[in-house]
Structure 1
């Protein structure tokens, strides 16, 4: 039988059901381990991150405050901000994340937490670095002048 050796071991009416082993393990453009690494980081972000604030709710005046992001009793990020409860205005002055949590959604989650902690506050930012500027643009937080942000700032 000529050509019998080229016939697939399992065939159906529409062709072979077997997939070459090289196509099963990795795709053409995939990076092995990349998806699992991102998934592990995202799980860590949404499960084990605590938010600790230096905000004093009894102090209505403006002041420098900080939202700490803590993972396993270690600070992995912080958001520095000033806020005035009388004016209902807030200015984000700094965003810092540990390198291993970049691209994990932690920045978005932290800014969402800050908005939920201070409802009704109009947020602005003085940050101009590309990474933080892109994050703030995605969160729809406009850029402000670095000067005083309200009449109560002194």
Structure 2
């Protein structure tokens, strides 16, 4: 008796599955499953920022656990917005969740021109894909710039 590769196999030996020796067949695929979760199982909830009263957050929640956050400021007078922070948990980084969150922000504030002050490696590619330009300390809006430059206590 031989297997598919022509190697001899003992008669009483168990046949291994085609997926591999240590693969669990009931487990869903990692990256594809996370991408599916990004569009089905994640709720996007607006919230005030815990650090600063002038900022707002978009919380990314998966089964009562916050897995990400986008912190931003908007100015209704100038129709400009500044994204000040993007945080995603490690398992949700490369599954399209950041793109979904920023697209949600754009749909909630359709007349706002978005900028960012972030220049970290993790967020640079996301913001470039979403065509959000990088600016200095607070953007071109004088209302947001004064709020970013002024200390939180004043």
TM-score, structure 2 normalization: 0.70
Deviation at 1:91, TM superposition (A): 0.4
Could you tell me whether the CA contact under 8 Å between 1:63 and 1:84 is conserved in 2? no
Deviation at 1:20, TM superposition (A): 6.2
Name the counterpart of 1:37: 30
Deviation at 1:54, TM superposition (A): 2.5
Runs of 4+ in 1 over 4 A off after TM superposition: none
Could you tell me whether the CA contact under 8 Å between 1:91 and 1:125 is conserved in 2? yes
Structure 1: segments with no counterpart, 5+ residues: 1-18, 27-31, 56-61
Name the counterpart of 1:140: 131
Higher gyration radius (CA):
1
Q: CA RMSD in A?
A: 2.4
> Per-residue CA shift, 1:6-33, capped at 9, x if unaligned?
xxxxxxxxxxxxx969xxx58xxxxx89
Could you tell me whether the CA contact under 8 Å between 2:116 and 2:139 is conserved in 1? no
CA distance in 2, matches of 1:116, 1:42: 21
Equivalence map 1:110-129=2 (5 Å): 110-129=101-120
